Amino acid sequence: MPKRNILYVVNPKAGVKKKNLFRDIEAISKQKGLNYRMLVWERADQDIVSLVKENLDDSIDIVVAIGGDGMVNRIAQALVNTKFSMGIIPMGSGNGLARFLQIPLSLEKSIDVLLNGKIVQVDTCEINNQLFMATAGAGFDAHVGKLFANSTKRGFFSYVKITLKQFKVYEPKEYELVLDGKSLKIVAFSLTIANANQWGNNAVIAPEADIQDGIMEITVLKPFKMWNAPNIALRLFNKTIHLTKHSETFKAREILITRSDGGAVHYDGEPDEMGTELRIKINPLTINMVVPDRSNFKSIVSE
C-alpha cells in the first residue's frame, strides 16, 4: 500500500474531550511512521472550509477531521467532488457518522484506520444547498437542538431536561412531502432524512440506510404518548425503530418538504433555521472516505 500523507485539521478551542489530545496524535503518528502535518483552526472569524481548501495540494492524500459530526460536516464541504480522501478521528459527543462507518472511537485505533484502512466512495446529501453526511431533519429533535444550542447550560443532563420539558408542550406539525414526484401529507413528531443510519451515540433512526446506494431513507415518527417513549427509545438502540407502529419509512432520491411555518432544522447535529420549503437531494458517491479494511463498505477506489 502506498504511503499516505495526512493533513490533520484541529480546533484547539473546540473543547475536545481528551486532555493532551493533539500531543497524543503527534506521538502516535510518529510512532506509526505517518507523514503528517497539522492545520490549526484558531480564529472564530476564519471560515474553516476555505482554510482547508487553501491548504490542499499534491503532498496530501487524506484530510482528517478531529472532532464530532459538526467538524466532519465542515471538512466534507471542502473535500466533496475532489480527489482527496477524508478520515475521521472521532472526538465528539455523538460521533454518528464515525460509528456508522465502523471507525473506532479509540484514538490509536482510529489512526490505525488512516494507515491501513480502505478508501471507499460514499454519498453526500444537501438540504437547501447545505451539505450533510449523516442525517438532517425537522420536528421535535430539531426544536430541542435549537433550544439546547441557545442554552447557557451544556452537557447530557441539560439536554435531557430540555427534552422532557419540551415533550409536554411540543405540538406535532403537518408536512407535505414530495418524494421523487409523489406527494403525500403527514403529521409528524419528527422527520429525519438519513444517508447514514443514526443520529449519534448508536441511536439508529434509519436501520436500513446505505451510504453507497444513492437513495435517502426518510423516517417519520408519528405523534405518540409519553408512555410510549421508553419503547421508542429502546427501538432506537436495538435498531428496530422501523418496526414500530409509531414510525413510517420512505425512500427517495429527491425530496421536497413543505411546512406551514419556517423554523428549526438540523443537519449532522448542527441546529439551524430554514424556511417553509426544504429541498433535499442526494449526490451519489461524491466523497472518498477512509474506513476500516474489514468493514462491509464496497471498496471502489483503487490507490
Q: Is residue 298 part of a domain?
A: no
CATH number at residue 90: 3.40.50.10330
The answer, yes or no, to whether residue 257 has pLDDT greater than 70, is yes
In a domain? residue 152: yes
Do 163 and 86 share a structural domain?
A: no
Are residues 150 and 40 part of one domain? no
Let me know whether 139 and 247 are in one domain: yes
The whole-angstrom separation of Cα 140 and Cα 117 is 37
In this prediction, residue 300 carries a pLDDT of: 66
- Give the pLDDT score at 157: 77
Look at residue 300 and tell me if it is in a domain.
no
State whether 118 and 233 are in the same domain: no
Q: Nearest to residue 148, comparing CAs of 270, 60, 44, 231?
A: 270
Q: Are residues 137 and 64 in the same domain?
A: no
- Same domain (yes/no): 26, 67: yes
Residues 120 and 136 in one domain: no
Q: How far is CA 155 from CA 35, 146, 160, in A?
A: 36, 14, 9
Cell numbers 484502512 correspond to what residue? 117
The verdict on 136 and 263 lying in the same domain is yes
Residue 245 CB burial class (10 angstroms; 0-12, 13-18, ≥19): exposed
- Whole-number Å distance between alpha carbons of 166 and 246: 19
* Contacts (Cβ under 8 Å, ≥6 apart) of 150: none
pLDDT digits (tens, 9 = 90+) for 52-99: 999 999 999 999 999 989 999 999 999 999 999 999 999 988 899 999
Q: What is the pLDDT of residues 235-254, one digit of tens each?
A: 999 999 999 999 999 999 99
Let me know whether 144 and 273 are in one domain.
yes
* Residue 107 shares a structural domain with residue 143: no
pLDDT in tens, 196-225: 999 988 999 999 999 999 999 999 999 999
Same domain, 148 and 277: yes
pLDDT at 301: 59
Non-local (6+) Cβ contacts of 27 within 8 A are none
> 9 in a domain, yes or no?
yes
Q: Is the pLDDT at 137 greater than 70, yes or no? A: yes
pLDDT score at 152: 82
25-49: per-residue pLDDT in tens?
Answer: 999 999 999 999 999 887 767 899 9
> Is the same domain home to 144 and 224?
yes
Q: What is the 3-state secondary structure (H, E, C) of the chain?
A: CCCCEEEEEECCCCCCCCCCHHHHHHHHHHHCCCEEEEEECCCCCCCHHHHHHHCCCCCCCEEEEEECHHHHHHHHHHHCCCCCEEEEEECCCCCHHHHHCCCCCCHHHHHHHHHHCEEEEEEEEEECCEEECCEEEEEHHHHHHHHHHCCCCCCHHHHHHHHHHHHCCCCCEEEEEEECCEEEEEEECEEEEECCCEEECCEECCCCCCCCCCCEEEEEECCCCHHHHHHHHHHHHCCCHHHCCCEEEEEECEEEEEECCCEEEEECCEEEEECCEEEEEEEEEEEEEEECCCCCCCCCCCC
Burial 29-57 (b: 16+ CB within 10 A, else e): beeeebebeebebeeeeeebeebbeeebe
Check pLDDT > 60 for residue 168. Answer: yes
pLDDT one-digit tens code per residue, 267-284: 999 999 999 999 999 999
- Residue 228's domain spans which residues? 130-283
Residue with more model confidence, 122 or 200: 122
In a domain, 303, yes or no: no
Cα angle 302, 7, 85; round to 5:
25
pLDDT of residue 84: 97
| Torsions phi, psi for 243 (to 5 deg) | -100, -10
- For the chain, the domain total comes to 2
- Cβ atoms within 10 Å, residue 181: 8
pLDDT value of residue 159: 79
Q: Is residue 254 part of a domain?
A: yes
- pLDDT at 158 (0 to 100): 79
User: For position 228, what pLDDT does the model report?
Assistant: 95
Q: Cα separations (Å) of 193 from 139, 179, 209, 279? A: 12, 12, 10, 11
